[in-house]
A = this chain, B = another copy of it.
Amino acid sequence: MLATILHAPGEVRCDEVAEPTILKPTDAIIRLSASCICGSDLWPYRGLNEVNGPRAMGHEYCGIVEEVGSAVTTVRPGQFVVGSFCLSDNTCPHCRFGFQSSCEQREFMTGAQAPLARVPLADGTLVATAALPSDDLIPSLLATSDVLGTGWFAADAAGVQEGSTAVVVGDGAVGLMGVLSAKQMGAERIIIMSRHKTRQDVALEFGATDIVSERGEDGVALIKKLTGGVGADSVLECVGTQESMMQALNCTRPGGKIGFVGVPHGVQFDGRDLFLQQKSLLGGPAPVRRYLPYLMDLVLDRTINPGKVFDLEVPLADVAEGYSAMDERRAIKTLLRV
């Protein structure tokens, strides 16, 4: 089959590879209904993470179970499933506390930018729907696998609740999902920091009430002004740079919460500064599995439409164009037809 391989920074293409097979009794093989490119795939693509030899790309997935290992009991061939980018047993203490992304057996999904993929820890990781979903729901179900689950975790970690004022730092796909999540959690005011018209439009559609295009100190000053000098209750940091993190920290009110889901690159916090600012911090790879059944239901009953975040769709063979469109910010997020 054809699968997406990153060979070196900037060098991504479909190569002919062997179809995946069951390697462990806890594995499942799924036939993907669609796949996509993640903002985090751009880190190695841009050479900002090391690339040591060819890497099978793709960790967001949904599709039909093709085959299961002998130990798998909760899903069976023919079912439609979604799984998290973090593979987890869903039974260890960390999983039971709802932090499946720190599962004692955690692995990270790979190789999902392809028509078939092997999913380890299938029982703990995969959630099946009662019936096969209609085709138009596939992009939104695919989104629950990572980008929506990650935005949701950011909003949850930031403590968004009924009536909150939330700020979303970053207008990438995760930031936009953060807007949608904050809206679902009842935020009264959702301010997105964005300077791109197409992304602002999606943010407004997802529930943003204010747009701040200034960055750094100017951006913080504007948010302070919009919040009566107080700062925001909840801030979703969806970028991962020192600048974006300081922006997030400085526009939170004392006692407010920051949920950070942008993978930090070169970010440092000064302990004394955190102490004096009195702001709560929680971040990490999102425990998507905790939210998955709920988020899939929101999609299936058409309460939310996170699939709108895909503004480019290409066949798998054109994956390179999908990456470069995201890299050049011509696309928010690329869906791959597999």
Query: CA of A276 to CA of B274 in the docked complex: distance in angstroms?
Result: 19
Question: Smallest distance from the beta carbon of A46 to chain B beta carbons, Å?
Answer: 17
> Is A280's CB within 8 Å of the partner chain B?
yes
**Interface contact B255-A102, CB-CB below 8 Å:** yes
**Interface contact A264-B253, CB-CB below 8 Å:** no
Q: List 5 A-B contacts (CB under 8 A).
A: A94-B253, A97-B255, A99-B255, A242-B271, A267-B270
> Is A283's CB within 8 Å of the partner chain B?
yes
Q: Number of A interface residues, CB 8 Å?
A: 41
> Is A293's CB within 8 Å of the partner chain B?
no
**Residues on A close to B: CB < 8 A?**
93-94, 97-99, 101-102, 157, 228-230, 240, 242, 245, 253-255, 260, 263-272, 274-285, 287
Contacts of A285 in B (CB 8 A): 275-276, 278
Query: CA of A97 to CA of B254 in the docked complex: distance in angstroms?
Result: 9
**Interface contact A275-B271, CB-CB below 8 Å:** no
Query: CA of A102 to CA of B253 in the docked complex: distance in angstroms?
Result: 9
- By beta carbon, the residue of chain B nearest A92 is B230
**Interface contact A268-B267, CB-CB below 8 Å:** no
**Interface contact B267-A263, CB-CB below 8 Å:** no
**Interface contact B281-A281, CB-CB below 8 Å:** yes
Query: CA of A93 to CA of B268 in the docked complex: distance in angstroms?
Result: 29
- By beta carbon, the residue of chain B nearest A286 is B278
Question: Smallest distance from the beta carbon of A22 to chain B beta carbons, Å?
Answer: 29
